[in-house]
């Protein structure tokens, strides 16, 4: 126990003097009563007895003692260990090809993915930073590393409302863009070399570009794990691309029939395993949320522990006690 304002404890000297004065006064009153022939037993049977006055005086001293202690701000100091985590720099690579509009995960694969990302960015540690790369056949850096969740939320809204279709899935190009994010950020902030760097790749398709092998080699060289999340049900779904005459219009194949999304997880699994990350299969919205939970649990690195001392305020307890003693004094 310690006191934040110990100078108020000097008031206990005045309280002690008051207690001595009170005892002296009560003893004098007892002597007067004895001279007048008033016995103790008869004295305690009337309201104005020595016993009642003593109880009143003691309760008053307790009220003042609790108030003085509350003014001194008593604190209970506790020490605990907290982990010293490395700052996490995460670049999210989000597939925005037409198949991500499939609604086997409601309201769509893309919409649900952006909402789950929003939720997890809101829960991040203050020092953690996120970047965002969207990709289909071409990739686009939407946000460089930032610790402000509102910045990424703006781009998530943009992706949910985007109406332009861009075909293809070039995972290799997306990885290269993600590495550009880290390279340019390092030029601005050289201290970020001490940070833990992670890529999270969300896609539902096979890579159709020719840059993947070179990009994976560079990711391995930089020691950046890529956590891959494959989105979509096993049965697949139709791909809505708009409305015509009030009816939903679906993406058609060469035979004029609606296309059903297919899923080939071999590419994503290979990228994750080679880079030191992990592959997750998200067939439902719950699977997607669990994947993010597990990714951030595994991506966190604890460099050690440090001891912190925390002070817990207890002046309110003494104020409550003072009020209780005051009520007791009133009832006596």
Closest C-alpha to 179, from 164, 193, 157, 197 = 197
The pLDDT value recorded for residue 126 is: 82
Tell whether 103 and 173 lie within a shared domain. yes
Rounded distance, CA 184 to CA 89, Å? 13
User: Range of 208's domain?
Assistant: 87-300
Buried b (16+ CB within 10 A) or exposed e, 1-40: eeeeeeebeebeeeeeeebeebeeeeeeeeeebeeeeeee
The pLDDT value recorded for residue 152 is: 86
Tell whether 239 and 153 lie within a shared domain. yes
The pLDDT value recorded for residue 44 is: 46
The pLDDT value recorded for residue 37 is: 67
CATH of the domain at 182: 3.40.50.410
Rounded distance, CA 279 to CA 281, Å? 7
Give a yes or no: residue 36 inside a domain: yes
Tell whether 69 and 112 lie within a shared domain. no
- Sequence-distant (6+) residues with CB within 8 A of 161 are none
Measured CA to CA in angstroms, residue 156 lies from 150, 239, 309, 316 at distances of: 10, 20, 40, 46
Give a yes or no: residue 281 inside a domain: yes
Give a yes or no: residue 63 inside a domain: yes
Cα atoms found within 13 Å of the Cα of residue 81, Cβ hemisphere only: 5
Per-residue model confidence as pLDDT tens for the chain (332 residues): 788 889 999 999 999 998 899 888 888 877 777 777 665 444 444 445 777 888 888 888 999 999 999 999 999 888 888 777 788 899 999 999 888 888 888 888 888 889 888 888 887 778 889 999 999 889 999 999 999 888 888 888 888 877 677 777 899 999 999 999 999 988 888 877 788 899 999 998 767 677 899 999 999 999 999 999 998 877 777 777 766 666 767 667 677 777 777 777 888 999 999 999 999 998 887 888 899 888 887 877 777 777 888 888 988 999 999 899 888 888 87
Rounded distance, CA 17 to CA 61, Å? 11
Tell whether 222 and 266 lie within a shared domain. yes
Give a yes or no: residue 266 inside a domain: yes
Tell whether 286 and 226 lie within a shared domain. yes
Tell whether 285 and 158 lie within a shared domain. yes
Rounded distance, CA 305 to CA 123, Å? 22
The pLDDT value recorded for residue 217 is: 94
Tell whether 222 and 321 lie within a shared domain. no
Tell whether 65 and 137 lie within a shared domain. no
The pLDDT value recorded for residue 67 is: 93
User: What does DSSP say about strands 2-3 and 74-85: parallel, antiparallel, or unpaired?
Assistant: antiparallel
Find out whether 202 and 92 touch, Cβ atoms under 8 Å. Answer: yes
The pLDDT value recorded for residue 218 is: 94
Tell whether 173 and 279 lie within a shared domain. yes
The pLDDT value recorded for residue 47 is: 44
E strand segments, the chain: 2-3, 74-85, 88-95, 129-135, 139-146, 196-203, 226-231, 240-244, 247-250, 279-282, 302-313
Residue 191 in tokens: 């201290």
Tell whether 164 and 30 lie within a shared domain. no
Tell whether 109 and 48 lie within a shared domain. no
Give a yes or no: residue 305 inside a domain: no
The pLDDT value recorded for residue 101 is: 84
Give a yes or no: residue 129 inside a domain: yes
Strand order in the sheet with 196-203: 139-146, 129-135, 88-95, 196-203, 226-231, 279-282
Rounded distance, CA 78 to CA 313, Å? 11
Rounded distance, CA 112 to CA 63, Å? 60
Tell whether 296 and 179 lie within a shared domain. yes
The pLDDT value recorded for residue 273 is: 94
Please count the structural domains in the chain: 2
């Amino acid at each position: 126990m310690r006191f934040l304002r110990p100078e108020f404890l000097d008031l206990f000297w005045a309280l002690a003097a008051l207690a001595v004065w009170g005892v002296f006064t009560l003893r004098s009153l007892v002597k007067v009563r004895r001279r007048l022939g008033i016995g103790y037993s008869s004295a305690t049977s009337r309201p104005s007895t020595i016993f009642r006055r003593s109880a009143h005086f003691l309760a008053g001293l307790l009220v003042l003692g609790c108030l003085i202690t509350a003014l001194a701000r008593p604190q209970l100091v506790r020490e605990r260990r907290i982990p010293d985590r490395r700052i996490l720099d995460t670049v999210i690579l989000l597939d925005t090809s037409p198949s991500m509009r499939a609604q086997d995960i409601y309201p769509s694969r893309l919409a649900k993915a952006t909402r789950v990302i929003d939720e997890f960015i809101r829960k991040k540690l203050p020092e953690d930073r996120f970047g965002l790369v969207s990709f289909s056949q071409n990739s686009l850096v939407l946000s460089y590393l930032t610790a402000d969740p509102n910045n990424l939320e703006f781009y998530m809204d943009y992706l949910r409302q985007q109406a332009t279709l861009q075909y293809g899935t070039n995972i290799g190009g997306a990885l290269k863009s993600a590495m550009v994010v880290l390279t340019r950020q390092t030029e601005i902030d050289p201290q970020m070399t001490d940070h833990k760097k992670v890529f999270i790749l969300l896609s539902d398709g096979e890579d159709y570009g020719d840059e993947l092998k070179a990009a994976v080699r560079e990711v391995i060289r930089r020691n950046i794990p890529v956590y891959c999340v494959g989105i979509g049900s096993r049965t697949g779904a139709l791909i809505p691309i708009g409305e015509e005459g009030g009816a939903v219009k679906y993406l058609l194949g060469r035979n004029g029939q609606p296309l059903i999304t297919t899923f080939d997880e071999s590419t994503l699994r290979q990228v994750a395993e080679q880079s030191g990350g992990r592959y997750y299969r998200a067939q439902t919205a719950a699977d997607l949320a669990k994947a993010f939970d597990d990714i951030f649990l595994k991506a966190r690195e604890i460099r050690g522990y440090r001891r912190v001392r925390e002070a817990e305020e207890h002046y309110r307890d003494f104020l409550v006690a003072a009020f209780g003693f005051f009520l007791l004094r009133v009832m006596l």
